[in-house]
Structure formats: C-alpha cells, structure tokens
C-alpha cells in the first residue's frame, strides 16, 4: 500500500493552467483516501506471481483508482445520488460546482487510459488492459449498472434483477482488477476465468455489505453520505436488513470455499487484500 500511495502522489495529474482550482480539484478526491481496494487486488496478483513486474503494474493499478474515483465523483452529483460527503470530505460539486465535478470526472476517466498507455509493460499487454478496463468500467459494466440503478428508482426490481444491476455497477470493476493482474503476469486462461468469477462474487458481496453499512452506520462512521437509498433498488429495500445480512454471510462463506481452491501462491498473495473484507458487514 505504501508504494502505491507514493506512486499516486508522484503521478497526480497536473497541468500548466491559469485556471484557479483545476489542479486542486483533480487531486482532491484522490488524496482524500479510500480503501484502494481495486488497485490492491491487481498488485496482489502481480506481486504473488511476478514481483519483478510490480513497478510496471503500478500504472494500471493507478488507472483503476482514477477510473473508480471518477465514478464516485459522478455518482455523487445532484442528478445522480446528490451526496455531499465522500471519503470524509465534501464532494466536488459541493466544494466547487456541478460543472467542475463533471469535468474532473471526465478528466480522471480519460487519464486512466493515458496512464496505461505509458506503463512499462509490453504493448500487447497494455492493449488488453485497456480493453478490460473500458469494457467493465464503461458501456458493458459500470455505466450500464449506473443507468439501470437510476432509471429504476422507485420501481422495485426482482432480487435477480438487483443482482444483475450490482454485478454491472460494482462487481465487474472489482473482477477486472483481478483479471488485469492475471493478464500482466500471463496466467493461463483457466486461472484468469476463475479469478474473474471470484471477483464477480466478491464485488457483489462488496455491494451487499455497502447496503448494510448504509443502513446501520452513521455518516461519520462510513465516511460518506448514508441513509440515501430510500428510492434505490438496494438489497435492504428489497429483502430487509436481516435477510440481507444472511445473503452476505452465505456469499462470504462461498467465497472462502472458492478462495481455498486457489494455489498457495495466489492465496498467500491475496489474503491481505481479500480475507479482511469478507465479513466487514458484521
């Protein structure tokens, strides 16, 4: 984590400009902290199998954090979740204005792919990383999930539909973080597929846990706006808190069983990044 944080601070996007707060706004949400969960998944896979590639993997790991942060900035906008707090700080549209938040989100989105293009990795690997991040962070993943989420506010979905919603909105970017690490180290196809499937379940658990946290934690405890999902198709709204906790417990147990099927090298590499999150809903 320390290496990643140092790399992030050394590679914050900055430009020569007379704009009074452009660079500050670009850096604000990146420096506000966060779990760095997605970059840590990628780097854990790389460090487990090919530690000599760790330095080259920092760029795509940072790209994941850029893209994830852009999604949070846009998600907090008044036209979406209208949230004033993120990572314990004011959201950008509160500190500045809607237009600034939209444009900074746009900048971080494109900066992610620019950063991958400059990575010290083979060209074919970089092309594949761009493909995966664009696929699961965009049209076929996160953006689709966000669109479903907003369109069906105040319109109850089935449990299966809610899982599809959150598989796209949250799980695919987590799954592709593991997959990008697997691509960098050249894991065989079957291992890549197993990691991606594990990541989908992990991402779904992550969302279920977030729904529980939204229901049971204060804004100070969570570091973000809570109690803001009354109109959303959250697991809590659909099946209630008790059954949502049961869903989380069952999925966490399933993930433990799947994790045990990985080879020892991968288990050792991912343990610190994964295991502590399996029961964070408790």
Query: Strand, coil or helix: what is 90?
Result: strand
Domains and CATH numbers, the chain: 2-277 (1.10.600.10)
CA distance 132 to 247: 29
Q: What is the dihedral of CA 39, 95, 223, 211, to 10 degrees?
A: -80
What is the value of pTM for the model shown? 0.94
Tokens 């020892």 found at: 264
Q: Which residues of 13-32 are buried (b: 16+ CB within 10 A; e: fewer)?
A: beeeeeeeebeebbbbbbeb
pLDDT digits (tens, 9 = 90+) for 15-53: 999 999 999 999 999 999 899 999 999 999 999 999 999
pLDDT digits (tens, 9 = 90+) for 42-101: 999 999 999 999 999 999 999 999 999 999 999 999 999 999 999 889 999 999 999 999
pLDDT above 90 covers a percentage of the chain that reads 87
pLDDT digits (tens, 9 = 90+) for 120-168: 999 999 999 999 999 999 999 999 999 999 999 999 999 999 999 999 9
């Amino acid at each position: 984590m320390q290496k990643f944080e140092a790399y992030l601070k050394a590679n914050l996007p900055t430009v020569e400009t007379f704009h009074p707060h452009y660079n500050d706004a670009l850096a604000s949400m990146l420096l506000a902290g966060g779990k760095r969960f997605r970059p840590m998944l990628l780097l854990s896979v790389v460090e487990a199998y090919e530690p000599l590639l760790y330095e080259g993997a920092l760029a795509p790991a940072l790209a994941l954090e850029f893209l994830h942060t852009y999604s949070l900035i846009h998600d907090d906008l008044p036209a979406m979740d209208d949230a004033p707090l993120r990572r314990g700080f004011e959201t950008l549209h509160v500190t500045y204005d809607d237009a600034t938040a939209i444009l900074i989100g746009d900048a971080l989105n494109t900066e992610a792919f620019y950063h991958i293009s400059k990575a010290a990795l083979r060209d074919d690997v970089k092309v594949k990383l761009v493909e995966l991040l664009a696929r699961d962070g965009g049209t076929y993943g996160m953006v689709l999930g966000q669109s479903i989420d907003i369109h069906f506010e105040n319109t109850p979905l089935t449990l299966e539909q809610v899982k599809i919603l959150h598989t796209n909105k949250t799980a695919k970017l987590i799954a592709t973080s593991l997959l990008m690490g697997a691509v960098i180290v050249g894991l065989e196809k079957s291992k890549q597929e197993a990691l991606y499937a594990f990541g989908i379940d992990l991402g779904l658990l992550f969302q279920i846990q977030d729904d529980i946290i939204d229901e049971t934690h204060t804004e100070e405890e969570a570091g973000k706006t809570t109690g803001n999902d009354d109109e959303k198709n959250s697991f809590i709204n659909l099946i209630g808190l008790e059954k949502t906790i049961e869903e989380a417990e069952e999925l966490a147990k399933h993930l433990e069983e799947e994790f045990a099927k990985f080879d020892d090298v991968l288990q050792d590499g991912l343990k610190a990044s994964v295991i502590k999150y399996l029961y964070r809903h408790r």
